[in-house]
Structure 1
Amino acid sequence: MDDHITRALSLSRRRLMAAGLGAFLAPALDPRQALAQPVFADYPFQLGVAAGDPAPDGFVIWTRLAPDPLAIGHGMPARPVPVSWEVAEDETFTRIVAKGEAVARPELAHAVHVEVGGLSPARTYHYRFTSGAERSLAGRARTTPVAGATVARARFGVVGCQHYEQGHYTAHRRLAEEDELDFVFCYGDYIYEGRSARVWNSAAGPQANQRQHVGQEIYSLDDYRRRYAQYKMDADLQASHAAAAWFVTWDDHEIDNNWAADLDQDGTDPAIFRLRQQSAMQAYYEHMPLRRSAFPTGAAMRLYRRADYGSLLRLNLLDTRQYRSAQPCGGRWGTCNELERADAEVLGAAQARFVFDSLATSPAQWNAIAQQVMMMDLDRDPGPGYMANPDSWGGYRTPRARLLRHLRDRRVANPVVLTGDEHQNYAGELHLDGRNPEPRAIATEFVATSITSGGDGTDQSPRMAQIQAANPQLKFNNSQRGYLLCDVTPERWETAFRVMDKVSAPGGAISTRAKLAVPAGETAIVTA
């Protein structure tokens, strides 16, 4: 090796910084040598680690190099950088079962997605990353049982709606502290796209934001990258990711509030909005532990998929944003003729075929539909009128009826819908028409509250008590923050509504507000 290269490689981090080289090696070095031993100006794993999409033989592991996370360029050179990874059977990494090297590329904000294979089913593993002399924290992920295998139990969390400004992520820390979970389902609203705000106008009046976004409303790829970085720098969120593998999908705020297909709520030219979608989708992929099958192509990426947990559970993950038709009633809560539109779509033709076939052919005892917006036919007006939320399945009655009839007519075993978006906890039973319910419900639905969105919240508002009284299919409601903890056995599905006493300050306490269940073969919710 040339003497000046040898000397350059031996430079200390301080001397590199003093030379103005920041997070990369001297430009005079051969690029292959620069890749061999990267030196960073600051800790590069500030956004943590994550695992996702577990399968019987492995899972995805993710990290992103970002020594200066909120800066344009995130403190990295515009060149590829190697990242080594290890997967072990034990926390001390003495029994390493898989390892390799990935390349963190500038085109993807120096994120890496490693699809680890060759592992044993139904087993917990530990993983970590190294780049240069720097090492990430260690994460934990569990492979799923082999399809068709007899499984006694599945235990998982349901999370989402984590507005950074409206509270602290203590619920994520509490989720990480739960007894080891098989996986976590994140239904969406991982970030919020709005500008920084000192106060927000809640239903209870002006509220001071606990912390603030950096910058204005986000539109560009750099904007979205910085917003994800700000969220992922939170230590409680990092702990939640490190505790279990996640299945992720999005709702609206990963791009823009209430978007549908190529339409936004402001009437932007669809061709222009697609440019924003393209940036948002790339940033979403860059920051989520997704497989290559979800790699974005322009303003499109496929997020609908399924996962089997032995013979016990089939998880159908849906995307209710990318393929839906425009919101009815101009997006206003209420009622209008558009609620019954025959050509309305939520899933789109291809996704509907996929999920209908998955449900009809499923050998699993329980069939979960993991998605974003409420499916329950809920009258939001406790008075004599009828009020629909057009951003929910209630605004799309034809595709909603099509899905429910499929569940009923094909006799899909034990269907359970998992939902978010509402910033409240709900549990209820699904009928074709909630105003004229059948004697037996078609399915059950559990709606997870937000991690922070909406602030501390309350147990139940007087208006929600009236709405529950006017909707007998609604069995439970609560508007505190938290998450769901689902415990599934061959005999029954049990959901614990875990709620925080506060998110307005760090250190909130978690408790179980209610524990509700569905016995196998039934569609009625009972107290656990």
Structure 2
Amino acid sequence: MAKLGYPFTLGVASGEPLPDGMIIWTRLAPDPLSRTPDRPGGMPDESVLVRWQVAEDEAFTRIVAEGRTRATQDWAHSVHVRVTGLRPGTEYFYRFGVAEPFENTASPVGRTKTAPARDAETPVRFAFTSCQRYEHGYYTALRHLAAERPDLIVHLGDYIYEYGRPARPALGRYVRKLEPPEAEAKTLQAYRNRFARIKMDPDLRAAHAAAPWVTIWDDHEVKDNYRGKLPGDGSNQAAFLRRRTAAYRAYYEHLPLRVRPSGDGLQMYRWRPYGTVADFHLLDSRQYRTDDSMLGADQERWLIDRLRDSQARWRVLAEPLFFSRRRFPGSPPTLSSDAWDAFPAQRGRILDAAREAGTPNLIVISGDVHNHWAAEVLADFDKPDAPSLGVELVSSSVTSMPAAVDADAVMRLNPHIKFFDGHRGYVVCEASRESFTAEFRIVDFVDRKDAPVRTVARFTVEEGRLKRADV
């Protein structure tokens, strides 16, 4: 094998935690932005033997699992190791290497944590965010999130943006340069390099190394406003499907997922239990979308069955788009066409399934809109006095520029919406058998690297209602 430069330029990550293990990830890329199509990441066209270790301590004096795997060009020399045999609810550390002695070529060290045992009542501390458009600013929020070292980080979509550099960037919309040639991503090579561009960011690498992640996607991982196998702009469907297939492949190659793409699809909706405290239901709102369905029939049936069968104290729906009704000022008031308001029948069936539990314990976490919001999820949004089945917590973006919104007017039209903040940031939640709290964190700017973080609101959830607490 040809001599490699340092291969771990994109860092390490872990994800998809179960009680006995997780996925640990890296990708070998000594030249991460290589524009040579047959050498992604600057790697030779040959497989590379990669060692991996998992330990109970950061110094790796108590190694509990280790092994070897092959990184191949077919998958851009990405590595997805399925680690098993670990103890539930336990913190571990992991690393990779490509040669002997291990320490001479070792990757950065990652911290991870297994999920609690299925019958455990262990509290879970998790954070979530979304929308990290690289050129819009620095990932300072992710640096602060990394320092919190939660049990789990949930990313709710728009992990990358496919756009190229605008011809005339507006103020705040081209703070950092994209990878050469600064064009829209449409091919496998271009998607790989867009992922590589953002994963070279030290704050994103730190956040991945700090805790296990679970991720879902929205539209910008492929193309703005696509739905199902349609591009959304009337262009050639066959060409778009090839583009979508390439984008899904690059997504897998750069994240710690359990399942590879198959054909032109990638299984993304899934269930991640955290003991008896929380069931995380992760939804795919793009791959199966049609004119009258956000999720498609199969995913809807799966979700409704899960909601009905869940025995967890909190049933968490993790999905990218605003779930609660949100009317905007107008004559008459308008609704968003790219949110659950465009699919009220399917939303109603999901709410019926949540109501059957008899306990108002639904927690919807969402993103997409580049602002913080908090709302109560009513059993019937046409009836303001209807019971609340739970709450929706909406995270702002990491960097993506927020749209102007008259929040006061929106909240007057939608009294179930209780909170708004226009800064960028993330949300941290603590869930136990007895309580659920959420804290909205913000940074004041993203055009420089030194923004401090602060908490602007704290809520507890009581009987399906939001109770604001002192910060």
The bucket for the TM-score relative to the shorter chain is over 0.9
- After superposition, the C-alpha distances for 1:59-94 in whole angstroms (9 at most, x for unaligned) are 000000000000032211011111100000001000
The counterpart of 2:153, out of the listed 184, 197, 200, is 184
* Contact 1:83/1:131 (8 A) holds in 2: yes
Letter in 2 for 1:217: E
Match of residue 309 from structure 2: 361
Residues 107/412 of structure 1: CA separation in 2 closer, same or farther (3 Å cut): farther
The alpha-carbon deviation at position 412 of structure 1 amounts to 5.7
The equivalent residue for 2:238 is 271
Q: Which residue, 449, 452, 456 being the options, matches 1:509?
A: 452
Which secondary structure state, in structure 2, belongs to the residue aligned with residue 516 of structure 1? strand
The aligned residue for residue 523 of structure 1 is 464
Once the two structures are TM-superposed, the CA of residue 462 in structure 1 deviates from its matched residue by: 6.9
Residue 207 of structure 1 and its aligned partner are, at CA, apart by 3.4
Deviations along 1:271-318, one digit per CA (max 9) or x if unpaired, are: 221100110000000001001xx2111221111111111111111111
Instruction: Give the equivalent residue in structure 2 for 1:318.
Output: 283
CA distance in 1, matches of 2:172, 2:25: 36
Whether 1:54 aligns to 2:21 is: no
Letter of the 1:78 partner, please give it.
Answer: D
Residue type of the partner of 1:300?
G
Map 1:123-522 → 2, pairs under 5 A: 123-132=90-99, 133-151=104-122, 153-178=123-148, 180-197=149-166, 200-201=169-170, 206-207=171-172, 209-214=174-179, 215-291=182-258, 294-326=259-291, 344-381=292-329, 383-411=330-358, 414-454=361-401, 463-519=406-462, 522=463
Give the AA of the match of 2:120. Answer: A
For residues 90-109 of structure 1, what are the structure 2 equivalents within 5 Å? 90-109=57-76
**Equivalent pair of 1:421/1:449 in contact (CA under 8 Å):** yes
Q: Give the whole-Å Cα distance in 1 for the aligned partners of 2:279 and 2:8.
A: 34
CA distance in 1, matches of 2:342, 2:238: 25
TM-score (norm 2): 0.95
Describe how 1:45-84 pairs up with structure 2 within 5 A: 45-71=8-34, 72=36, 73=39, 74-84=41-51
Q: Deviations over 1:470-517 (max 9, x none)?
A: 210110011101100011122221110000011111111000010111
1:187 is matched by which residue type in structure 2?
L
Q: Tell me the alpha carbon deviations over residues 407-434 of structure 1, each in whole angstroms, 9 at most, x when there is no partner.
A: 1134366111010101010100122553
1:373-414: CA deviations, max 9, x gaps? 011111022x44121111100111111111111211343661
The residue matched to 1:207 in structure 2 has which SS?
coil
Q: Deviations over 1:95-145 (max 9, x none)?
A: 000000011110000000000000011100000000124211000000011
What is the DSSP-based 3-state SS (H/G/I as helix, E as strand, rest coil) of the residue aligned with 1:257? coil
* Structure 1 contact 492–518 (Cα < 8 Å) conserved: yes
Contact 2:379-2:386 at 8 Å conserved across structures = no
Checking the alignment, whether the CA contact within 8 Å between 1:359 and 1:412 is kept in structure 2 is: no
Distance 1:271 1:101 in 2: 39
**Aligned letter for 2:15?**
G
Q: Distance in 1 between matches of 2:369 and 2:315?
A: 22
Secondary structure at 1:525's aligned position in 2?
A: strand
Q: Which amino acid aligns with 1:497?
A: F
Contact 2:384-2:415 at 8 Å conserved across structures = no
Q: 1:462 to 1:109 in 2, by over 3 A?
A: closer
Once the 2 structures are TM-superposed, how far is the Cα of residue 248 of structure 1 from its aligned partner? 0.8
Give TM-score scaled by structure 1 length.
0.85
> Residue 188 of structure 2 contacts residue 246 of structure 2 at CA under 8 Å; is this kept in 1?
yes
**Larger RCO of the pair (alpha carbons < 8 Å, separation 6+):** 2
Report if aligned partners of 2:359, 2:389 keep a CA contact under 8 Å in 1: no
Give the RMSD, CA atoms, in angstroms.
1.5
AA aligned to 1:110 is H
Structure 2: runs of 5+ lacking an equivalent: none
Identity across aligned pairs (percent)?
A: 40
Unmatched segments (≥5 aa) in structure 1:
1-23, 26-38, 327-343
